[in-house]
Amino acid sequence: MSAYKTIVVGTDGSSTSFAAVERAAGVAADSGAKLVIVSAYTPASREDTSAAEDALKDEAFLVTGWTPAEEALREAADRAAAAGAKDVSTFAEDGAPVDVLRKAVKEHSADLLVIGNRGLNTFSGRLLGSVPADATRRAGVDVLVVHTT
């Protein structure tokens, strides 16, 4: 079996997702693969952000649109580089996490998806489903589930 060429990993800015990023970066470094770090977001409504914008004034951009996802991606890219990944790109998109991950896998012709296990073994995750479980079923490529909790 040949080494992986392109690896996609998701992050939401949580410490557990950064653990998955670091593991994906290690695999990318070991195999010389490209690493694509993905963050899904849902833009906040005007009502949701108006109070924060009033309070933050010139820094209101921090709570609107894709900025939180971009911040998570910046930190994830820094962590990936520190873990040895050489070829790192980031990708933020509006949408449900599993859909955004699947889209990134397809668009980047990835052959491995790395995802953290947060929510996988919770009661609500077993009852309603979780991002790791859904991504594993629907990815269409090899999936590495990283034990992050």
- Domains, the chain, in order of start with CATH, read 11-87+98-146 (3.40.50.620)
Q: What local confidence, expressed as pLDDT, does residue 109 receive?
A: 95
Q: What local confidence, expressed as pLDDT, does residue 80 receive?
A: 97
Q: Record the pTM.
A: 0.77
Residue 62 has pLDDT above 50, yes or no: no
- Cα–Cα distance, 27 to 35 (Å, whole number): 9
Higher pLDDT, 46 or 149: 149
Burial letters 45-64, b for 16+ CB under 10 A, else e: eeeebeeeeeeeeeeeeebb
